[in-house]
Amino acid sequence: MADRAPRQPRYQRIKEYILDGIAKRTFQPGCKIPPEIELAQLFGVSRMTVNKAIRDLSEAGILLRFAGDGTYVAERKAEAPLLDVNNIAQEIQARSHNHSITLYTLRAEPATEHIALQLGVHVGATIYHSLLVHREDGIPVQLEDRFVNPSWAPDYLAQDFTRITPNHYLMQHSPLTDIEHTVEAVMPQREEQAMLEISATEPCLLVFRRTWSHRNLVSFARLLHPGTRYKLRSQTQLD
Amino acid sequence: MADRAPRQPRYQRIKEYILDGIAKRTFQPGCKIPPEIELAQLFGVSRMTVNKAIRDLSEAGILLRFAGDGTYVAERKAEAPLLDVNNIAQEIQARSHNHSITLYTLRAEPATEHIALQLGVHVGATIYHSLLVHREDGIPVQLEDRFVNPSWAPDYLAQDFTRITPNHYLMQHSPLTDIEHTVEAVMPQREEQAMLEISATEPCLLVFRRTWSHRNLVSFARLLHPGTRYKLRSQTQLD
DNA sequence: ATCAACAGCTGGTCTATACAAATAAAAATA
DNA sequence: TATTTTTATTTGTATAGACCAGCTGTTGAT
């Protein structure tokens, strides 16, 4: 039991070499990197080992491979897709518009069966609940109905959510490690129509979002957007 | 130009064997699949070839591997990230349901101003247009209205889209390198209601998708999903 | 000048083998 | 019985070599 040193695979060094080269601009986006056989000689490994390293980077979208031609550095990085979607305040500010919040509810409640299931707590356990509307230049663009597990955000109720967003507070206190989204189209309920200042016939985008911090399910949010005022957008580069 | 037969790699057959087993419930979620060496004997290939097949499925989140133990069928369906929502056929098959297509339109047309803008061609240029409905066990789940740049998919009109999906054809002929999505909630038009067999009051998820292959804007699709029959789902692990 | 045939390069796949590392099950020990 | 050690199994990594298919640039013919 002496050597607990986790021996690093050789292909790892090659991956680092490539990634370093990209970071240091030795390998610029769009340029061709040395062929497998050359890297194999350079590192003193077999071609298949180089292949493993390059293939990994290719599957990760960092490199583009063309049989008979060569391997190229991808132009743009794959962005974390839906991350932008969560920070609506940032989004609005990026458009040079004014972001404001109307707070409707902020309190501790017992968890209903549905909420308990989503948050992974027992029915009746105390959870924190916030309900607020995000506005862009005064116009409602998102109804945020959020349930938080008190264990991972004890000071949640003490925050001033007319000044900072729940998302902002949570990000600071329990770093986001996992997100789950589901998106569907729905018709708004009566109270929701009022808070979003829309008609009963306007379809809405409903986004459910659950966020984890190191395996802990921190919060569960229901984000409702008027169909005519909001779009989700994402751009990704694959391989 | 004799052999247009795209020789299929051997590991592909092994992947299909596994995926079939999962679809047919021979390999149920959580159960262990045969070890590499056994599959190698079964298919008469070397272990490394089996390794490639299993590794691919593992990286896709369909299988879970444990050194010294074995390979297991993943419990949760690796839900496609929102961006992967492209392959609706695969999604349906993963649920062990029947996927079918009703084709409404497949023809060449002059590009309207809007389409030209989206596809990056000149107004009036000839583009290919397909309109079809995807069904899950006979029930419409997606209306696919697609416009394709003929330059990157010359044989598009010759395909039998009741058998393969446009997406499948495009993936084979111009590997996907970039995707752009926008998502919004809308009410369906009259004709759309009919094709999706829904009522005029059912909100729909409208997904615009543009796909690139090595910088070339290949296709522009408008995907309409009945709100009550479809959800987008995405799960992201950050770090 | 244009086009077709060819050769060389590059990645894609595959083999047969080998050893390492992790795990589970069996065996030996306290 | 409970714990430790051993063994067998399984995946992970790695090699050297091989052939194929697609791309590019060159050569050669028209």
What pLDDT, on a 0 to 100 scale, did the predictor assign at position B118?
Answer: 81
What pLDDT, on a 0 to 100 scale, did the predictor assign at position A143?
Answer: 94
Copy the structure tokens of residue A30. Answer: 């769009």
Q: Pick A184's closest partner by Cβ from B83, B182, B205.
A: B205
Q: Dihedral sign for Cα A115, A144, B182, A64, please.
A: negative
- With CB atoms and an 8 Å threshold, state whether B204 touches A203: yes
Q: State whether residue B189 sits within 8 Å of chain A by CB.
A: no
- Asked whether the predicted pLDDT for residue B4 surpasses 50, the reply is no
Residue type at B169 in one-letter notation? Y
pLDDT tens-digit readout, B171-199: 666 666 667 777 788 889 999 999 999 88
- Give the residue from B48, B87, B184, B239 with the most A CB atoms within 10 Å of its CB, the best one to mutate: B184
User: How far is Cα A82 from Cα A69, in angstroms, rounded to an integer?
Assistant: 34
Q: Per DSSP, what are the bridge partners of residue A213?
A: A216
User: How far is Cα B221 from Cα B85, in angstroms, rounded to an integer?
Assistant: 13
Copy the structure tokens of residue A87. Answer: 């920070």
Q: State whether residue B200 sits within 8 Å of chain A by CB.
A: no
A46 touches strand D (CB under 7 A): yes
pLDDT tens-digit readout, A1-29: 333 334 678 898 998 898 888 878 888 88
**Nearest chain A CA: its distance from B87 CA (Å):** 15
- Asked whether the predicted pLDDT for residue B96 surpasses 60, the reply is no
Q: Per DSSP, what are the bridge partners of residue B72?
A: B32, B64
Residues A103, A132: contact at Cβ < 8 Å?
Answer: yes
Report which of residues A214 and A131 the model is more confident about: A131
Report the pLDDT averaged over residues B60-69.
82
pLDDT tens-digit readout, B72-95: 887 653 334 444 445 677 666 656
pLDDT tens-digit readout, B14-58: 988 998 888 788 888 888 999 999 999 999 999 999 999 998 888
- Asked whether the predicted pLDDT for residue B222 surpasses 80, the reply is yes
Nucleotide nearest to A67 (CA to C1'): C11
- With CB atoms and an 8 Å threshold, state whether A183 touches B238: no
What pLDDT, on a 0 to 100 scale, did the predictor assign at position B123?
Answer: 83
What pLDDT, on a 0 to 100 scale, did the predictor assign at position A104?
Answer: 94
pLDDT tens-digit readout, A150-193: 888 888 888 888 888 888 788 767 666 667 777 788 889 999 99
Q: Pick B177's closest partner by Cβ from A201, A230, A237.
A: A237
Distance from CA(B23) to C1'(D30), angstroms, rounded: 59
Distance from CA(B172) to C1'(C18), angstroms, rounded: 37
| Band of pLDDT at residue A133, cut at 50, 70 and 90 | very high
pLDDT tens-digit readout, A32-82: 899 999 999 999 999 999 999 998 888 766 787 888 889 888 765 333 344
- Asked whether the predicted pLDDT for residue A84 surpasses 50, the reply is no
What number of other Cβ atoms are within 10 A of residue B132's Cβ?
21
Report the pLDDT averaged over residues A207-223.
82
Residues A60, A51: contact at Cβ < 8 Å?
Answer: no
User: How far is Cα B133 from Cα B152, in angstroms, rounded to an integer?
Assistant: 23
- Asked whether the predicted pLDDT for residue B100 surpasses 60, the reply is yes
| CA nearest to B71, candidates B101, B27, B13, B102 | B27
Q: Which residues in chain A are contacts of B203 at CB distance < 8 A?
A: 185-187, 203-204, 227
- Asked whether the predicted pLDDT for residue B159 surpasses 90, the reply is no
Instruction: Count CB pairs under 8 A between chains A and B.
Output: 117
Nucleotides of C under 7 A from a protein CB: 8-18, 20-24
Predicted-complex ipTM score: 0.50
Copy the structure tokens of residue B31. Answer: 């159960």
Q: What is the DSSP string of chain A?
A: ------PPPHHHHHHHHHHHHHHTTSS-TTPEEPPHHHHHHHHT--HHHHHHHHHHHHHTTSEEEETTTEEEE-SSPPP-TTHHHH-HHHHHHHTT--EEEEEEEEEEEEPPHHHHHHHT--TT-EEEEEEEEEEETTEEEEEEEEEE-GGG-TTGGGS-TTTS-HHHHHHHHS---EEEEEEEEEPPPHHHHHHHT--TT--EEEEEEEEEETTEEEEEEEEEEETTT--EEEEEE--
Question: What domains, with CATH codes, occur in chain A?
Answer: 10-73 (1.10.10.10), 83-226 (3.40.1410.10)
Report the pLDDT averaged over residues A226-232.
68
pLDDT tens-digit readout, B106-135: 989 888 888 888 888 888 888 899 999 988
Chain A CA closest to residue B234: A181
Copy the structure tokens of residue B36. Answer: 């590499």
- With CB atoms and an 8 Å threshold, state whether A182 touches B233: yes
pLDDT tens-digit readout, B127-145: 899 999 988 888 888 899 9
User: How far is Cα A158 from Cα A108, in angstroms, rounded to an integer?
Assistant: 11
Copy the structure tokens of residue A11. Answer: 């292909």
User: How far is Cα A225 from Cα B205, in angstroms, rounded to an integer?
Assistant: 12
